[in-house]
Amino acid sequence: MYLLADATVTAPCPSADAFAYIADLETFADWFPGVRSVSSTDALPPATVGKRYLETVALPGGRTRRIPLVVCAAAAPHRLVTEGALPLLRPRMVIDISARGTDRCTIRWRMYSRAGNPLLRWTVVAAAAVVLRRRARRALRTLAGRLDDQGSPIRSPAQPGCRPEQHSRRGHMN
């Protein structure tokens, strides 16, 4: 696998509240730039292995693409892993949440490519990594702003967001 983007933020809420909000992927478009919508395609509850979604993402040039997603691992309130059926890129999203006391948590978001072709890594995957790194930094700032210290994940856009601590990493993993 190749690491496309890696970003971390500390949010002012318990890890269980952050996980509950994040694990409902229908909220993903509310905080991740470039994601137009995510809708459930089955009756399974969020954070259930096998849960399926359909994600609509913005592509360069104003186009959109619908990508089937599946939850392939979930361990509340610490980890959520999904995989997307996007040819060439074959994305895997990994979200890890760590408690920082009772009222704060650290959220680490990573996107990998499962593309095995070395030529793709130097072309399509490399271009996607540039876009995803930028979007990931913005996404985690927005996410932290939606998670308040009361555990309520919804924050009006007119309200000031929290001042999250943020870090970003990049590189690859073999």
In this prediction the pTM is: 0.81
Give the position of tokens 């990049």. 170
Amino acid 106: pLDDT = 95
Tell me the CATH number for domain 2-169: 3.30.530.20
Amino acid 165: pLDDT = 39
- pLDDT averaged over consecutive 10-residue blocks of the chain (174 residues)? 91 94 95 95 96 92 92 97 89 96 93 77 74 91 78 39 36 36
Q: First and final CA of the chain: distance in angstroms?
A: 5
Amino acid 119: pLDDT = 63
Q: How many CB atoms lie within 10 A of CB 117?
A: 11
Amino acid 173: pLDDT = 37
Both tokens of 7, joined, read 């970003």
> In what side-by-side order are the strands of the sheet with 165-169?
35-40, 52-58, 64-75, 79-84, 91-99, 105-113, 2-11, 165-169
SS3 track for 32-47: CCCEEEEEECCCCCCC
C-alpha closest to that of 17 among 108, 143, 147: 147
Spatial distance between the Cα atoms of 39 and 51, rounded to a whole number of angstroms: 11
Amino acid 123: pLDDT = 67
C-alpha closest to that of 12 among 80, 96, 138, 107: 107
Quick one: residue 62, left, alpha or beta (phi over 0 = left, psi -120 to 50 = alpha)? Answer: left
Amino acid 169: pLDDT = 39
Amino acid 51: pLDDT = 98
Phi and psi angles of residue 164, each rounded to the nearest 5 degrees, phi first: -70, 150
Residue 23 CB contacts under 8 Å (≥ 6 apart), including other chains:
46, 47, 74, 76, 80
